[in-house]
Every structure is written in structure tokens, then in C-alpha cells.
Amino acid sequence: MKNKSVMCHNNTCKKLSLHCVFIVSFLFISMTVMIPGVSADIYKYVDEEGVLHLTNVPSIPNAKYILILKEKRVHFHSDIDVNKYDHIIAKAASKYKIDQALIKAVIKAESNFNHRAVSPVGAQGLMQLMPSTAYALQVDDVFQPENNIEGGVRYLRYLLNVYKGDLRLALAAYNAGETAVAKYGNNIPPFRETQNYIRRVLSYFDDFKK
């Protein structure tokens, strides 16, 4: 969720050496591979100050992005209990007037129902809340399923209200951030990661409604 990016500074060398870039990239990719249910295209670029940036949303004009990790679609697995949190989801769905199938679809796309999932850029829990978002939503323990789902569904309801019920725009903002949506005239940003995310959630939404 949100525009997830990190910066890596090296005070001893303004321009990062290829060795530094390799190490940081390797660690970043390794973290992603080890996290079940969290997938996205990951790009890197080095700015004019020699700072290495890693992001899943290549949104800066003229930046020379290099794809270092290609998105892998997450499929359903028989050992994943997709109904494990139904009682919590039902409660949040009723409170915020959101379809239970949609909530499950977002959880599926975000964490694959892994309540301890942590993305390479810090998004946490079932609905992959960024620390700043969790703080704003007053989510005390993001790894506690009920707290995370309550916060994530509350945020999704907020976005649906902002975009007047437009589910695609709400999902785009959930993934890339409201700023990215606003930047493109309140349209879906032309980011492959965001567009794939929307398609994935909608596909899961249909599956869970059956």
C-alpha cells in the first residue's frame, strides 16, 4: 500500500560504488523473496547526490530507473486458510459498510493472509499498513490481526469516500498514495505495479464473492 520507497545514504562516498549498490540491492531482494504474499516490481535509481533509492512506484520524472525485481503473481495455496479471519473481517465490514469479499481481496493481494508480513519498505501486517498510516489510524499493534484489519478497512473506507465510491481510484491510492493519484488528475497512475495491483484485487474480489 501507499508509495513505498527507501533511500540509502553512504557518508563515506557520495557516489555509491557498484559494490555498495550490489549489497543493498541483494539485501532488498532477499527480504522480498522471503516474505510470503508480498510481491511487486522493485526499481532502483541513483540521484544526483549519489543516493540510492529503491521503490515499487517509479514516479519521479527523468529518473533512470532500473528494474531489479520483477513482480510475481501470488496464487492461492491449499495450505493458506483464507477464512481464518472471517469473524474479524465481518465485524469491520459491518462497521465501515464495505463488502467482506473486497476486504479479503485486499488482504490477499497485500499479505496473502500472513499477519506477520513485512514488505521491504516497511508496510506491515495483513493489510500492509505503513508505520505513518498505522500511527494516523491509531493502530497500536499492526501485527495483531484485529487491529490491522480495523485500521486497514477504516483507511479503505476513507479512500472510498474521498473518491466518491470509485473502487479503482481507492485501490490506486491504497497502493500508490493519494498524492500519486492527485498528480495524475485524480486518475489511476501509469505505474505498472499499481495497475497490476488493481487488477489483482478485483480478480480476488470476484473469486471471494463466489
**Annotated active-site positions, please?**
110
Distances (CA, A) of 64 to 9, 48, 165, 191: 18, 11, 36, 15
Residue 109 to residues 22, 130, 150, Cα–Cα distance (Å): 29, 15, 17
CB neighbour class for 43 (10 Å; exposed up to 12, middle 13-18, buried from 19): buried
How far is CA 1 from each of CA 16, 46, 158, rounded to the nearest angstrom?
Answer: 28, 23, 14
CA–CA gap between residue 88 and residue 119 (Å, rounded): 23
User: At 200, phi and psi to the nearest 5?
Assistant: -65, -45
